[in-house]
Amino acid sequence: MKNRTTAMILAAAVFLSALLSACGQSAEDKKFDQFTTQSSALSAPEEPVSSEPEESQPDTDLTAQLVLRTYTSGASVDIWKDYIREFNDTYPNVKIELKDEDALSDVAGYITRTTVELMSGEAGDLIDMSWLPAQRYSASGVLQELDPLMDADPDFAGDKYYGNVLDGMRCGGKLYVMPYEFAPIGIRLDKKAADALEIPYGTGEAIGASQVLEYAAAANQLPDFADMPALGLFTWDAFNFVELSSRINEEEKSADLDSESFTAYLTKLKAAKYNEGAPVGASPMPDDGQLMGGFCTITSLRPAYVQLAESYVGLLDSPDVTPMMALETDEGAALFTSMSLGVASSCKEPEAAFAFIKFLLDNERRLDKENSLRTDFVPVNRELSQKVLEAYLGEAGKEETEKLDQWCAQVSTPVFYDRSRELLDKLNDICGQYMNGLLSAEDCARQLQDMAFVYLNE
């Protein structure tokens, strides 16, 4: 046993040192209709040809024993168990065992242990990518390519799914990690401050991270907002997980952190005020319209929850906060966070594993408002997403349904928070020295670039 453990650790060390960097993310918006629609066959000579793609039929005779690797959390484990129970109603001969392990108390350790097990073939068959570096795994060979399985399924030939979200997760043009639900990253501003600064909002246009920082600093020059922090709940690092999303290209092992434009971003980052009591460790938050006394709040669109949906509709004419706007990087990348699954390269039953992924993509439990065993994200299934938006936003939000669908169809880049929390933490440590006056903007930029280069080329 000791020799086997040593071998696993050595394998992980070799893997981690040779691991290819994760995929680069395009900053350009990709439209959802990149997939062409296939015509179905004629059912009879006199019938017109349908423009709808043929729907796939589940192979209910599939037989397999699978293991799903996830992290320990009462809520997430219960959700997975209930999904598996429902999946077995259609696929009774595909047995899925849950294998969960603590991640919340030691993210780095969880990533290392999962990497070791992936290399040794002991991680499982289906890998919940929460907390894990999906792009690095995609490029490393520890996950199976999903495109051949998708090519055999006519549902992926049309526009049933948000193709732009799938494309955002691709590595070298190939898909290894399947997002089954996602949330666009947005922002709300203090309405009184925004009006005082004559900031355009409610136009449907996105706003960039540096632009928000400029506005926040400008608000502090006004008597009524002199002491207003840029963010109420979090500190400066919330802007980092946004802006870094298009500054680091994992696939090309490159970063743009010592450029003049990023140094300018750092200067604007420091010029804004922050809540001194706020901790470093920001994450994309659900949108409830609460700014906590700050100039803005960075949020994620999560409408499949009654209270959040009611809040969204109620805030459309709020006197306190602006309507939610898409938040982009300075490079124009429209961001999203997602929940996704990968299939381990060691999986012997990929068809059965993909059947479970497809089940998640098409599952309609989000339409059941009483079912707590689900998340509040937007389904990657576009047809289902529109049903969800209509169901939760109701008649009052009918006009918003089309706007939000278009926003969902334009996101292009996974937020850096999802891509590598390890590297994000390392970069924030350096940036913290700059924010505390221990480094100049130029020195900070150089150290950030060096850290990213080392990490990407390990």
> Are 240 and 286 found together in one domain?
yes
User: What local confidence, expressed as pLDDT, does residue 380 receive?
Assistant: 98
Cα maximum dimension of the chain: 78
User: What local confidence, expressed as pLDDT, does residue 37 receive?
Assistant: 28
Is residue 7 in a domain?
no
d(CA 311, CA 20): 43
Q: How confident is the model at residue 50 (pLDDT cuts 50, 70, 90)?
A: very low
Is residue 43 in a domain?
no
Is residue 81 in a domain?
yes
Give the mean pLDDT of the chain.
87
Residue 234 pLDDT > 70:
yes
**What is the mean pLDDT of the segment spanning 30-50?**
34
Neighbours of 125 (CB within 10 A): 25
Is residue 10 in a domain?
no
**What is the mean pLDDT of the segment spanning 347-362?**
97
How far does CA 198 lie from the centroid of its chain? Answer: 32
Q: What does residue 24 show for φ and ψ, rounded to 5 degrees? A: -75, 155
**Between 184 and 253, whose confidence is greater?**
184
Which range is least confidently modeled, 76-90, 99-113, 372-386, 426-440? Answer: 99-113
**Between 356 and 419, whose confidence is greater?**
356
What is the residue type of 259? Answer: S
Neighbours of 105 (CB within 10 A): 8
- Owner of token pair 């999906």: 134
- Kindly write down the DSSP assignment for every residue of 227-239, as one continuous string: T--SBSSS-THHH
How far does CA 351 lie from the centroid of its chain? Answer: 25
Is residue 243 in a domain?
yes
Q: Which helix (H) or strand (E) holds 387?
A: helix 382-393
Residue 353 pLDDT > 80:
yes
**What is the mean pLDDT of the segment spanning 44-65?**
66
> Are 302 and 431 found together in one domain?
yes
d(CA 185, CA 282): 13
User: What local confidence, expressed as pLDDT, does residue 401 receive?
Assistant: 93
Q: How confident is the model at residue 54 (pLDDT cuts 50, 70, 90)?
A: low
- Please give the share of the chain, as a percent, with pLDDT higher than 70: 88
Residue 255 pLDDT > 60:
yes
Q: Each residue of 260-284: b (16+ CB within 10 Å) or e? A: eebbebbebbbebbbbeebebebeb
Domain range holding 152? 19-36+57-183+337-405
Q: For the segment 388-416, what is each residue's pLDDT rounded down to a tens digit?
A: 999 999 987 888 999 999 999 999 999 99
* Phi-psi map region of 29: left, alpha, beta (phi>0 left; psi -120 to 50 alpha): beta
CA atoms within 13 A on the CB side of 338: 33
Q: How far apart are the first and last CA of the chain?
A: 29
Give 397's DSSP letter: G
**What is the mean pLDDT of the segment spanning 125-130?**
96
Is residue 411 in a domain?
no
> Are 167 and 209 found together in one domain?
no
User: What local confidence, expressed as pLDDT, does residue 35 receive?
Assistant: 28
Residue 34 pLDDT > 90:
no
Which range is least confidently modeled, 260-264, 295-299, 374-378? Answer: 374-378
> Are 276 and 392 found together in one domain?
no
Coil, helix or strand at residue 300? strand
> Are 241 and 310 found together in one domain?
yes
> Are 107 and 207 found together in one domain?
no
User: What local confidence, expressed as pLDDT, does residue 6 receive?
Assistant: 45
**What is the mean pLDDT of the segment spanning 209-215?**
98
Neighbours of 248 (CB within 10 A): 27
d(CA 386, CA 232): 32
**Between 345 and 73, whose confidence is greater?**
345
Q: What does residue 295 show for φ and ψ, rounded to 5 degrees? A: -70, -30
Please answer whether residues 237 and 282 qualify as being in contact, where contact means their C-beta atoms are separated by less than 8 angstroms. Answer: yes
> Are 319 and 207 found together in one domain?
yes
* Token representation of residue 255: 């970063």
Q: How confident is the model at residue 314 (pLDDT cuts 50, 70, 90)?
A: very high
What is the residue type of 97? Answer: E
- Kindly write down the DSSP assignment for every residue of 312-348, as one continuous string: HHHGGG-SSBPPPEEEE-TT-PBEEEEEEEEEBTT-S
Residue 29 pLDDT > 80:
no
Q: What is the sign, positive or negative, of the torsion defined by CA atoms of 446, 447, 453, 454?
A: positive
Is residue 51 in a domain?
no
Is residue 101 in a domain?
yes
How many domains does the chain fold into? 2
Please answer whether residues 302 and 376 qualify as being in contact, where contact means their C-beta atoms are separated by less than 8 angstroms. Answer: yes
> Are 217 and 362 found together in one domain?
no
Residue 21 pLDDT > 50:
no
> Are 177 and 197 found together in one domain?
no
> Are 328 and 368 found together in one domain?
no
> Are 76 and 169 found together in one domain?
yes
> Are 195 and 213 found together in one domain?
yes
Give 309's DSSP letter: H
CATH number of domain containing 357: 3.40.190.10
Coil, helix or strand at residue 53? coil
Its pTM stands at 0.86
